[in-house]
Amino acid sequence: MMCPFCREGETRVVDSRGSQEFVIRRRRECLACSRRFTTYEKIEESPLKVIKKDGSRVPFDREKIRAGIEKACYKRPVSPDQIEQIINDVERAVYETFEREVPSRYIGEKVFSALRLVDQVAFVRFASVYRAFKDVNDFVEELQPMLRNQLD
């Protein structure tokens, strides 16, 4: 690490601590001029790509997940905290399971499963777009397991 004051390359770490998620704050002292300075080290991640249905690849964006969930939950009793939790859970699962590329289908299935537990109407709304229902019969097929569970 180069000293910002005298430009010498020899420093020692006086103190280290985590300051934010994936950021390390280090207090350093220059061995040449004895002045102290702070550095912040951030882990460099290779950007995760999402493989779309058409085969194209786009950067992973949690805000796209948020937009889809918020549309499905519009005027439903789903709190912003619940939405944030779903997004965090999906993002965590994606980063734990994949290194460089994730199929969009995997992300959709994770959101699909989470919404099923949170709100059934939001789940059906999301399913109608995600599964690309073509007619009422597709809706009925998706709802049958849910309806059976309510009758049991």
State yes or no: pLDDT of 112 exceeds 90: no
Span 110-120, mean pLDDT? 91
Question: Looking at residue 57, what is its pLDDT?
Answer: 95
Question: Looking at residue 152, what is its pLDDT?
Answer: 59
Closest alpha carbon to 41 in 57, 61, 54, 27:
27
Percentage, residues of the chain above pLDDT 90:
60
Span 90-102, mean pLDDT? 92
- Domain definitions of the chain by residue range: 11-42, 49-151
Between CA 121 and CA 27 the distance in angstroms is: 52
Span 119-141, mean pLDDT? 78
Least confident of 49-53, 86-90, 115-119, 127-131: 127-131
Question: Looking at residue 150, what is its pLDDT?
Answer: 65
Query: What pTM was estimated for this model as a whole?
Result: 0.62
Long-range contact set of residues 110-115: C-beta below 8 Å, sequence gap at least 24: 111/65, 111/68, 111/69, 111/86, 114/86, 114/89, 114/90, 115/69, 115/72, 115/73, 115/86
